[in-house]
Amino acid sequence: MKAITSGAFFLAAAWSASAWAAGSDELWEMTTKMDMPGMAMPAMTEKVCLPKGEGYKPGKVPHQKNCEMSDLKVSGDKTSWKMHCSGRDAMDGSGEVTRTANTMKGVMKLSSKDIQMTQDISGKRVGTCQAK
């Protein structure tokens, strides 16, 4: 279950590592809401800095050395990916995000032998920053 919880919040944690300050890149306010049967989780919102005009790219699952992202595809305004975590808390997932000039919207589905969950991802461009 620990890997599932960590995996469920990998997007927000990966984005928070980006630096934001005045610059020519894009500052986004990203919100991730997780739904699991029998468990209500509050939405998480963070500001992230993305290179100007670049497609959405999911990050690696933090603190989970046994998790890998694969099949990352960027086609126009859509990005899709898969992920797999092995070991005691094995899980699989897939996701897709559509980006416009000022908004992002998507979903990621995660499943293990014990549970299934869905993350709704939304974002809006709120300013400029300097990506690393």
Element (H, E) at 34: strand 25-36
**Cα(119)–Cα(109) distance, rounded to whole angstroms?**
6
Q: Residue 13 carries which DSSP code?
A: H
Q: Is the confidence at residue 104, as pLDDT, over 90? A: yes
pLDDT in tens, 46-67: 998 888 877 776 765 545 678 8
Q: Which residue has the tokens 């416009």?
A: 100
Helix (H) or strand (E) holding 8: helix 2-8
> Is residue 12 scored above 50 in pLDDT?
no
Model-wide pTM > 0.85: no
Spatial contact of 18 and 52, defined as CB atoms under 8 Å apart? no
Per-residue pLDDT at 6 exceeds 50: no
CA 132/CA 112 separation, integer angstroms: 34
State the Cα–Cα distance between residues 31 and 123, nearest whole angstrom: 6
